[in-house]
Amino acid sequence: MTDHRLWEWLSAMTAVRRDSVVKKVAIVTGSARGIGKAIATRLAHDGYAVVIADILEELATQTAEELRRQGFSALAVPTDVRQEPQVQRMVEEAVKAFGGVDVLVNNAGVMWRGNVTETPTDAFDFVLSVNLRGAFLGIKHAAPVMRRRGGGVIVNIASIHAFATQAGMAAYAASKTGLIGLTRAAALDLGQWNIRVVAICPGAVDAPMLWDKVNEAEAKETARRWANASPLNTILRPEDVAHCVAWVVSDHARMLTGVAILLDAGVATDLRIR
């Protein structure tokens, strides 16, 4: 075999090997920005092909393009997690692009602040439809695909408000408490398929949800109060949640399922958020 032909053969074999490598695949909802973007970025760095699923179509596209420019595999899929056809399409697009689903991170979430007697019923329904129904739909459609892959991990991003909440957070606290119940039930249903289900419950995070719909002074005061309640005198960054997710989906946490991890900088050790 001439040197030229040998080089062609080696190149072809290398290409076959490269194409035959099956990456793990992660869907992260609400990942166009903030916590979700940090999670998708961390999983991409860990070797996952990531699906950026978000109702913010333009930002989702930008995030996916940003990851691809860095050499990662990423796909943006516009998704309103309240709508079952869109969630089903989200999973189908992941399978079509990357061959399957190994990890689902139900991160998409919204918050409503208001006294329980003054919270509009439509607002209460909206919060639960995104935070709880959205996670249910994701699990419903991703789990059968994971089963065909031999298993997987589902991570539900809940909140400290499922354990200790504040006045004016009825809708949000209800949705996140429900998410922990869903986590436990889904872990029981899906364990037979080697699918683990875990909830992560962050405290205050320096992310868009903290800053949205309030002025800068109010947001800074909220951050100050949460930091003051922490033994570490700090609030979380999106990357802190992302690192926790990366551990939960790894083999190092293979015995972890049906539980809620409180990731709150120690705030729950002293419930006085002052």
Question: How many whole angstroms from its chain centre is CA 188?
Answer: 20
Q: Which of 172, 175, 195, 265 is catalytic?
A: 172
Q: How many CB atoms lie within 10 A of CB 85?
A: 9
Distance in angstroms (rounded) separating the CA atoms of residues 257 and 268: 22
Helix, strand, coil in percent for the chain, rounding step 5: 55, 15, 30
Rounded to an integer, what distance in angstroms lies between the CA atom of residue 44 and that of residue 117? 43
35: tokens are: 């916590």
> Active-site residue 48, yes or no?
no
How does DSSP assign 76-143, residue by residue? EEE--TT-HHHHHHHHHHHHHHHS--SEEEE-------B-TTTS-HHHHHHHHIIIIIHHHHHHHHHH
Distance CA 127, CA 8 (A): 58
Cα–Cα distance, 76 to 228 (Å, whole number) = 38
Question: What residues act catalytically?
Answer: 172
